[in-house]
Amino acid sequence: MKYRELGKTGEKVSVLGFGCMRLPILGGSDNPYDTLNPEKFIDEEKAGQMIRYAFDKGINYFDTAYRYHTGQSEVFLGRALRSIREKVLIASKLPVWMVESPDDFDRILDEQLNRLNTDYLDVYLLHGLSGKHWEKVRDLGVMDFLERARADGRIRHHGFSFHDRPEVFREIVDYAPWDVCLIQYNYLDVEFQAGRAGLEYASEKGIGVMVMEPLRGGKLAGRVPPAVLEEWAKTTTRRSPVQWAFLWLWDQPQVCMALSGMSSIDQLEENIRIAGEAGAGILREEDKDIIRRVREIYLSRSKVGCTGCGYCLPCPSGVNIPWNLSLYNNRFMFDEEELSAMIYNHIIPPGERAFNCVECGRCETLCPQKIPIMRELKNVEKTLGRKD
């Protein structure tokens, strides 16, 4: 495993971090969105094997959050890392949407420490900051809280994860001497949210920048469109789509770590193997040109920018929003008209299909990608629903 400096923190982190949002679940199926079902419980035997394997292979950064697996992720991770606590870095996140008063800061952090069975967190992030949530917690004194928590030893480094416009990112970065930040970044999202400009801006200030969604929720690693495969085939260096995505990130020295939410030991093994190739400047200009062309192909065919994060769940009406939107994207990205319609009408349970949306709007307030979900669900039903 290779390591990089985490900004000015003095920490050395593995270039591949372990994200605990998509852990294997009991009774899991081949449907990738099954892992987002809040009624499913973590398969602790399989997940524990993955954690131990990751540690043995040199991964030293494990990331969770208050809401992952409806709170089970923190509890599981605390048990899984108990015997090696001092040898790893544990990160969790403050659910800013739950904060209503200054007292909530300490109450929630103490609850998380109890869940994780630890006295301290190595990294504590304000979760999924948008302009609206940032203004709320800022005015409630979140920076005073973070400094107090660091002074009393409950956290060691502080930062934020981000989902909003570039100008909001700069405002937050400039407000305080942050230690770290976590941004959505991959070769499709170069100009999305913080993007490359945000990566460089934060890095110049000494902030350790970590990357989430390196594979765009698995979209860059799954069934690759034929046009994209044709582009990859033009290179003199043969790499898998997953290799291209990770190596593009690690080619940039400002990327301290790529955080991957892995659901199987096979995914973990593959990602660790690729991490062994990580290095700034590893890609040639020919490689970068190919990636630019691949980006253009993907962006021209994708209908909805859903990454399958599951923040929109559970839907009060039972709609499996990520699954519906994924099928809608696949219909156009892979020219799968018949297959997507068949899965929508015969595989997705009737209660989880798009037509059940009652337009309550809850999902749109939670979506970090700011997708107009209600409108897109109508498009799903119109495009994929039965016509008889």
The yes-or-no verdict on residue 210 having pLDDT over 60 is yes
Alpha-carbon torsion (207, 85, 137, 306), positive or negative:
positive
**Which of 166, 154, 176 is CA-nearest to residue 94?**
154
Max Cα-Cα span within the chain: 65
CB 331 within 8 A of CB 337: yes
140 Cβ partners below 8 Å, 6+ apart? 99, 101, 102, 105
Q: How confident is the model at residue 299 (pLDDT cuts 50, 70, 90)?
A: confident
Greater confidence, 161 or 298?
161
Instruction: Please give the Cα distance from 254 to 200 (Å, whole number).
Output: 7
Alpha-carbon torsion (251, 258, 52, 179), positive or negative:
positive
The yes-or-no verdict on residue 388 having pLDDT over 70 is no
Rounded to the nearest integer, the mean pLDDT of the chain is 93
Instruction: Please give the Cα distance from 241 to 355 (Å, whole number).
Output: 34
Q: How confident is the model at residue 234 (pLDDT cuts 50, 70, 90)?
A: confident
Instruction: Please give the Cα distance from 342 to 252 (Å, whole number).
Output: 42
**How confident is the model at residue 382, as a pLDDT?**
95
252-262, pLDDT tens digit by residue?
Answer: 999 999 999 99
Provide mean pLDDT across the span 198-215.
97
173 Cβ partners below 8 Å, 6+ apart? 181, 198, 201, 202, 205, 207
Provide mean pLDDT across the span 228-252.
92
Q: How confident is the model at residue 10 (pLDDT cuts 50, 70, 90)?
A: very high
Greater confidence, 375 or 38?
375
Write out the two tokens for 340.
């997507």
146-204, pLDDT tens digit by residue?
Answer: 999 999 999 999 999 998 889 999 999 999 999 999 999 999 889 888 999 999 999 99
**pLDDT exceeding 70 applies to what percent of the chain?**
97
Q: How confident is the model at residue 344 (pLDDT cuts 50, 70, 90)?
A: very high
**How confident is the model at residue 219, as a pLDDT?**
78
Q: Hey, how many other C-beta atoms are within 10 angstroms of the C-beta on 110? A: 12
Greater confidence, 90 or 29?
90
Q: How confident is the model at residue 305 (pLDDT cuts 50, 70, 90)?
A: confident
Q: How buried is residue 226: exposed, middle or buried, by Cβ count under 10 Å (0-12/13-18/19+)?
A: exposed
What's the length of the chain?
388
**Which of 260, 249, 233 is CA-nearest to residue 282?**
249
133 Cβ partners below 8 Å, 6+ apart? 96, 97, 126
H or E, element range at 269: helix 265-275
Q: How far apart are the first and last CA of the chain?
A: 56
Provide mean pLDDT across the span 21-29.
83
Q: Hey, how many other C-beta atoms are within 10 angstroms of the C-beta on 227? A: 15
Backbone angles phi, psi at 36, to 5 degrees: -90, -5
* CATH number for the domain formed by residue range(s) 3-299: 3.20.20.100
Instruction: Find the Cα–Cα–Cα–Cα dihedral 257, 261, 263, 266, rounded to 10°.
Output: -20
Write out the two tokens for 136.
């709320």
What pTM does this model have? 0.85
Cis peptide before 314 (omega within 30 of 0): yes
Query: Which CA distances in Å does 210 have to 14, 26, 250, 338?
Result: 11, 30, 11, 39
**How confident is the model at residue 243, as a pLDDT?**
95
Most confident of 71-75, 308-312, 346-350, 366-370: 71-75
- Ordered by start, the domain boundaries in the chain are 3-299, 321-384
